[in-house]
A and B are shown apart, each in its own frame.
Chain A
Amino acid sequence: MPKVTPDFSDSLSKVEGAGELGYCFQCSACVAECPAALYCEGFNPREIVLASLLGVADYLTDKDSVIWQCTTCYKCYERCPQGTHPVEVVTALKNVAFEKGNAPADIVSVRETVKENGTIIVASDAVEKRRGDLDLPRAPVAPTADIKKLLE
């Protein structure tokens, strides 16, 4: 028997748009055009919403969860006749997985790069040379102290 957390879906509502999953009537409109459902083994937005609703979604926030296969294309958001927003349910599950320390290492590292540098790509001499070759000024310097303070 999986562990059941009856109020689990309430914990997802911090993410804008993720709190309406109670309206889902399991029609599968979200599955029909989902690229991750088409290309990735085991990814099904309807099942993800159902597991979250029933409070049996622990497996979705463990390491190597299928939730990270979502491409965030927002087709499910548009197609859902009930305003359930499966993509935001996935975002909320990702947030829970991150809090548990179960987000993929490379995704955590993107966050750390932004936190440390204020940018997602780190400036370098090579970049500055390319900018110079294109007659561009030096890359702007991001206020890293501000970002560190925000993410404290």
Chain B
Amino acid sequence: MIPLRHPQIEAAARKALPKVGIELTDIEGFTCCPEPWNVKGTSLEDWLAIAMRNLAVGEKSGRDMIVLCNGCYATLTEAAHIASNGGEAKAAAEKKLSSLKLSYKGKNKARHVASVLSDMGTEKIAASVKKPLRGLKVAVHHGCHLLRPSGIMGFDDPFEPSKLEALVEALGAEVVRYAGYTDCCGRATHDPEATLKMASDKIESMKAAGANCIVTVCPACFEQFDLGQVEIKRKLGKDHKLPGFHYLQLLALAQGEDASALGFDRHRVDVKPALSKIKGQ
């Protein structure tokens, strides 16, 4: 989804991550992870087979995989968990994989960029910052699949997380904690009205806490809030005007990257009012 619909997130990653010492290598042969609610909803076995194929391709490279998306993280982490625990579905997926002469032995895993950065320590992130985002008030939206099921995802507390907030503070921005901050963005429900109401209510809570913008670490949550606000305005009559960012865009910006190189012009909610809050910009 990122390379083909939100390439600005990929661009931000390629600019920002080397500056904190993460070397990125492109591996050929990956497919969609696949996404964890529609494909898994049609067939767990097929979802698992595609996911284990991607893990097997990653494993051959001898490196862990880094993902910039909660959906990719959920699929690949849960699939690795199922692959290590056995079960009927695993056996079926392995059989399908063997037709491609591939197997996954559980020697690598997918790591979410938020988890990698958090493990490196906020001091290291802060040390790469050249233009701190002072004055910007940020509402952090973790996204469900980064946090839950916590026993498998293992990133942070499933109901009172703080690691992503610490990463935002390392950029010099101020985090505003708002009511319902671990709630779902509503993206994956099939109810067309509920999906907009869930997002709209969450945005209202962010604004009530004084946020100037939303930070996510998932392209689906980002799209739900960004494109979603166009739909919310049209169908619910509420014009929130609260811009959204992927964390990596703000990291790149704080590292001194020019705003014009980060694809903000393709966001549906104008980011300029938020950027104007940053002191010294």
Q: Quick one: closest B residue to A117, CB to CB? A: B32
A36: CB under 8 A from chain B?
Answer: yes
Q: A73-B148, A130-B266 are in contact. Are A107 and B190 (CB under 8 A)?
A: yes
Q: A14-B89, A71-B188, A114-B32 are in contact. Are A120 and B1 (CB under 8 A)?
A: yes
Q: Quick one: closest B residue to A43, CB to CB? A: B191
Within 8 A of B (CB), among A58-94: 68-75, 77-78, 91-92, 94
Whether the Cβ atoms of A35 and B42 lie closer than 8 Å is no
* Centre residue among A110, A120, A123 by max chain B CB count within 10 A: A120
A105–chain B nearest beta-carbon distance, Å: 11
Bound Cα distance from A94 to B191, whole angstroms: 15
Whether the Cβ atoms of B7 and A127 lie closer than 8 Å is yes
Chain B hits for A78, CB < 8 A: 148-150, 158-159
Q: What per-residue 1/0 map shows which CB atoms of A9-26 lie under 8 Å from chain B?
A: 000011110000000000
Within 8 A of A (CB), among B188-202: 188-191, 194, 197-198
Whether the Cβ atoms of A146 and B148 lie closer than 8 Å is no
A122: CB under 8 A from chain B?
Answer: yes
Whether the Cβ atoms of A134 and B42 lie closer than 8 Å is no
Q: A16-B44, A69-B189, A150-B53 are in contact. Are A35 and B32 (CB under 8 A)?
A: no
Number of A interface residues in the complex (CB < 8 A):
51
Q: Which of A40, A114, A135, A139 is within 8 Å of B34, CB to CB?
A: A114
B280: CB under 8 A from chain A?
Answer: no
Q: Quick one: closest A residue to B8, CB to CB? A: A134
Bound Cα distance from A123 to B88, whole angstroms: 35
A32: CB under 8 A from chain B?
Answer: no
Whether the Cβ atoms of B31 and A134 lie closer than 8 Å is no
* Centre residue among A16, A69, A107, A119 by max chain B CB count within 10 A: A16
B26: CB under 8 A from chain A?
Answer: yes
A143: CB under 8 A from chain B?
Answer: yes
Chain A hits for B96, CB < 8 A: 149-150
Bound Cα distance from A140 to B2, whole angstroms: 12
Interface-located stretch among B179-187, B237-245, B269-277:
B179-187
Q: A40-B189, A72-B144, A140-B26 are in contact. Are A151 and B46 (CB under 8 A)?
A: yes
Q: Quick one: closest B residue to A147, CB to CB? A: B31
Chain A hits for B36, CB < 8 A: 72
A55: CB under 8 A from chain B?
Answer: no
Q: A123-B4, A139-B4, A150-B50 are in contact. Are A40 and B11 (CB under 8 A)?
A: no
B97: CB under 8 A from chain A?
Answer: yes
Chain A hits for B29, CB < 8 A: 143
A27: CB under 8 A from chain B?
Answer: no
Whether the Cβ atoms of B10 and A103 lie closer than 8 Å is no
Chain A hits for B35, CB < 8 A: 110, 114, 120
Chain B hits for A74, CB < 8 A: 144-145, 147-149, 158
Q: Which of B3, B28, B50, B191 is within 8 Å of A69, CB to CB?
A: B191
B107: CB under 8 A from chain A?
Answer: no
A95–chain B nearest beta-carbon distance, Å: 6
Bound Cα distance from A127 to B263, whole angstroms: 13
Which B residues have a C-beta under 8 Å from some C-beta of A?
1, 3-5, 7-8, 10-11, 14, 26, 28-32, 34-46, 49-50, 53, 78, 81-82, 85, 87-89, 96-97, 99-100, 144-145, 147-150, 158-159, 183-184, 186-191, 194, 197-198, 261, 263, 266
Given contacts A119-B32, A150-B46, 4 further A-B contacts (CB under 8 A): A69-B189, A98-B42, A111-B43, A123-B4
Which A residues have a C-beta under 8 Å from some C-beta of B?
13-16, 35-36, 39-40, 68-75, 77-78, 91-92, 94-95, 98, 103-104, 107-108, 110-111, 114, 118-123, 127, 130-131, 134-136, 139-140, 142-143, 146-147, 149-151
